[in-house]
Amino acid sequence: MAEEKTTVEVEETTEATQETKVEAQAQDPKEFLENFDWDKYEQGIERVDDSKLKEFENLVAENFVDTADEEVVQGTVVYLTEREAIIDINAKSEGVISLNEFRYNPDLKVGDKVEVLIDIREDKSGQLVLSHRKARTIMAWDRVNAAHDKEEIVSGFVKCRTKGGMIVDVFGIEAFLPGSQIDVKPIRDYDQYVNKTMEFKVVKINHEFKNVVVSHKALIEADIEEQKKEIIGQLEKGQVLEGVVKNITSYGVFIDLGGVDGLVHITDLSWSRINHPNEVVELDQKLNVVILDFDENKSRIQLGLKQLEKHPWDALSEDIKIGDKVKGKVVVIADYGAFIEVAEGVEGLIHVSEMSWSTHLRSAQDFVKVGDEVEAVVLTLDREDRKMSLGIKQLTPDPWTDITSKYPVGSKHKGIVRNFTNFGVFVELEEGIDGLIYISDLSWTKKIKHPSEFVTVGDTLEVEVLELDVEGRKLSLGHKQTTENPWDKYETEFALDTVHKGTISEIVDKGATIEFNEDIVAFVPSRHLEKEDGKKLVKGEEAEFKIIEFNKEFKRVVASHTAIFREEEQRNVKAAVKKAAASADEAKPTIGDANEALQALKDKMEANDKKKK
């Protein structure tokens, strides 16, 4: 540029000299010498008037910058290449800046004003070195602080993703954009914002750590707030509005009504039962909803979707009546029964008591599971209250209709133990026919405190029908009656005064016990444990015992060891008396002789008693 200006000046001087020569030839020599400009002739330039020089200096001061190093000035884009921007800052030459420094402004064009920093006034090649990035950094903090204080909207370039949000270039400063501040709705794809220029609001500045936090959501909320006020003011119950699915939870769906959020509870999504709202709607789906209710401030809005459709009960065929058979799918199971969907949105309850004729109630899970297709009979139908009860057992004959012929009193059968109580066992003879065995009818011989001591659930037992109550649907059974009562035999075998050999098995309170066999356990009172030598029997000792009590009804047997030798003594006394009488008859003794003999025997017995004591 400097070389071009010098060439032009030389050419202009040469032309001026030639013109002077031409003028000199045309003028009078005397006049020419008087008016000849010797400075122009000697220096090769024409003298410039002082006023013109002053004017030139003013123009230079107004239009050309003092290109001091590290100074920020404003320049104009005069030309753009694929990689660079040519910037004119009114210096003797233009500067070049890489387009990478303008990534935040993809719309840069010729004529735009930009701020630049004069790095070097002239490098080795005579080029002016400029930097837009450094200029932005120097002025950025002033701009950021001003934007924060005045709540101005700033433009920024989203550079990349980072943990928890995005990095945004604002005035050359890397600001943080939290993920929660990008939009009013949850963001599922952060990458869609990378390399985009967006508008932001500076919400926080940390001067100590030079941190800046920006928000795009704040700008949206400002617009939404206006819309929200307008929408809330027009809300009415029953009003139908269009909305967008904003969020889906396990309990319902949040709908964006244009700045105002409302909740459609899972029960208001469909007339049919659903397990999760995503079975009905999906994110970002547009749909119509009806306003069901809202609070006084209209901040909590309850919406409905199924209410826009006719209630399924109203569409239920009028032909369905009590006693009809219907088919449906099991949708819900509870302990007390199962809900069957017989038509879309129309459900009936099968109570567990209506699933089987058995009086022994079980859980509904024992009969059906969710998803099963079942057939049932309509038991009750209330269209006004929209309730229906169903039954499965009604599809099969009631087993109690011919109970007297199948299970007459005295008949013997086999059944399965289904349940225990403290007083007996419930036995199922067939599906729907249960009978009770009282604990006293389980065994002829065993003393049972609880049925679990005798049987377990699931065991098969032989039973005999003892009583039958058709109206009350009750059946009394017995197990011991299926076998012969062994006590009939024991009544003879262990009759009174019979003697049996046995071993003391246990010493108990007030006596001891003897196990004569697996059924007969006799009790021996303490005073009947005494032996002939005065000592008492101990555990494990074997001896003979006499039955002194036998009660078949209460299964009570009492024995005595002492009674055996006591009886023998008595027999000896009787034998002695008899012998003495016989001798008296032979010898005809006197009455005094007989008395002496008896007294001698009595003294002997008393002496034996004293020894024992």
Q: Which residues, 6+ apart, have CB-to-CB distance to 238 below 8 Å?
A: 290, 291
> Does residue 504 surpass a pLDDT of 60?
yes
Does residue 250 contact residue 276 with C-beta atoms inside 8 Å?
yes
In this prediction, residue 600 carries a pLDDT of 64
- Pairing state of beta strands 387-391 and 346-351? parallel
What is the average pLDDT across 491-514?
Answer: 88
Same-domain check for residues 553 and 607: no
pLDDT value at residue 11:
47
Would the pLDDT of 88 be above 70?
yes
Q: Look up residue 386 and give its amino acid.
A: R
Is the model more confident about 29 or about 560?
560
The band of 114, judged by pLDDT with boundaries at 50, 70 and 90, is: confident
Q: Cα dist. 562→6, 190, 469, 507, 536 in Å?
A: 159, 103, 53, 16, 9
* Mean pLDDT to the nearest integer, 326-330: 91
Q: 555: number of CA atoms within 13 Å, CB side?
A: 13
Measured from the Cβ of residue 554, the count of other Cβ atoms closer than 10 Å reads 6
Residue 467 neighbours by CB under 8 Å, 6+ apart = 409, 474, 475, 476
The upper half-sphere exposure of residue 585, i.e. CA atoms within 13 Å in the direction of its Cβ, equals 5
Distance CA 485, CA 466 (A): 16
Instruction: Say if residue 38's pLDDT is above 70.
Output: no
Tell me whether residue 107 is in a domain.
yes
pLDDT of 152 > 80? The answer is: yes
Secondary-structure breakdown of the chain: helix, strand, coil percentages, each rounded to the nearest 5:
30, 35, 35
Spatial separation of the C-alpha atoms in residues 273 and 271, rounded to whole Å: 7
How far is residue 435's CA from residue 428's CA, in Å, rounded to a whole number? 6
- pLDDT tens column, 262-277: 899 998 998 888 889 9
Q: Which of 104, 136, 168 is the last residue of a domain?
A: 136
pLDDT tens digits for 280-314? Answer: 899 889 999 998 888 766 668 899 998 888 888 88
Question: Alpha-carbon torsion 52, 53, 56, 57, what sign?
Answer: negative
Q: What is the pLDDT of residue 589?
A: 53
Residue 437 in domain: yes
Q: How far apart are CA 169 and CA 154, in angstroms?
A: 11
Task: Inform me whether the pLDDT recorded for 24 exceeds 90.
Answer: no
Domain count, the chain: 7
Same domain, residue pair 354 and 369: yes
Calculate the alpha carbon distances from 381 to 312, 347, 373 in Å. Answer: 15, 11, 21
Ramachandran class of 169: left when φ > 0, alpha when ψ lies in -120 to 50, beta otherwise: beta
Q: Which two tokens stand for residue 324?
A: 């009809």
In terms of pLDDT, which residue wins out, 199 or 25?
A: 199
- Mean pLDDT across the stretch 587-607? 60
Q: Which of 302-316, 370-384, 442-456, 570-584 has the lowest mean pLDDT?
A: 570-584
pLDDT the model gives residue 128: 78
Name the DSSP letter for residue 469: E
Query: What are the φ and ψ backbone dihedral angles of 32, each rounded to 5 degrees?
Result: -65, -45
Residues 417 and 458 in one domain: yes
Predicted confidence at residue 3, as pLDDT, reads 42
Residue 363 confidence (pLDDT): 83
Examine residue 21 and state whether it is found in any structural domain, yes or no. Answer: no
DSSP-derived secondary structure for 153-220: EEEEEEEEEETTEEEEEETTEEEEEEGGGS-SS--S-GGGGTT-EEEEEEEEEETTTTEEEEESHHHH
**Predicted pLDDT at 425:** 92
C-beta separation of 240 from 288 below 8 A: yes
What sign results for the dihedral spanned by CA atoms 364, 368, 370, 374? negative
User: Is residue 530 in a domain?
Assistant: yes
Lowest model confidence (mean pLDDT) among 26-30, 81-85, 265-269: 26-30
Whether residue 359 has pLDDT greater than 90: no
The verdict on residue 41 lying in a domain is no
For residue 15, is pLDDT > 60? no
- Give the pLDDT of residue 376: 93
User: What interhelical angle do 591-612 and 562-587 show, nearest 10?
Assistant: 160
* Residue 606 and residue 590 share a domain: yes
Which residues have CB under 8 Å from 287's CB, separation 6+? 242, 243, 245, 255, 281, 305
Instruction: Please determine, for residue 7, whether its predicted confidence score (pLDDT) is greater than 50.
Output: no
- As a whole number, mean pLDDT of residues 373-385 equals 90
CA–CA gap between residue 217 and residue 220 (Å, rounded)? 5
One-letter amino acid at 118 equals I
Q: Rounded to an integer, what distance in angstroms lies between the CA atom of residue 184 and that of residue 198?
A: 15
Exposure pattern of 318-329 as b/e (b: 16+ CB <10 Å)? eeeeeeeebebe
pLDDT (tens digit per residue) in 125-151: 667 778 887 887 777 788 888 888 888
Q: Quick check: is 92 in a domain?
A: yes
User: How would you class 168 by CB atoms within 10 Å of its CB: exposed for 0-12, middle for 13-18, buried for 19 or more?
Assistant: buried
Q: What whole-number distance in Å separates Cα of residue 331 and Cα of residue 339? A: 6
- Which tokens go with 116? 């630049």
Closest CA to 457 of 422, 414, 428, 432: 428
Share of the chain above pLDDT 70, in %: 78
Return the bridge partners of 43, or none. Answer: none
Confidence bin at 437 (pLDDT 50/70/90): very high
Q: Give a yes or no: residue 185 inside a domain.
A: yes
User: pLDDT tens across 93-106, in order?
Assistant: 788 888 888 887 88
Closest C-alpha to 477, from 423, 432, 441: 441
**Domain encompassing residue 130:** 72-136
Contact (CB, 8 A) for 590 and 581:
no
Banded model confidence at residue 580, pLDDT cuts 50, 70, 90: low
Domain-located, residue 93 = yes
Final residue before a domain boundary, out of 440, 461, 478: 478
| Mean pLDDT, the chain, integer | 80
Per DSSP, helices labelled H in 298-434 are 403-406
CATH label of the domain that carries residue 251: 2.40.50.140
Last residue of a domain, one of 417, 449, 478: 478
559, 578: one domain: no
For 463-474, what is each residue's pLDDT tens digit? 999 998 888 888
- pLDDT for 14 equals 47
pLDDT level of residue 417 (50, 70, 90 thresholds): very high
Could you give the CA distance from residue 97 to residue 87 in angstroms, rounded to a whole number? 7
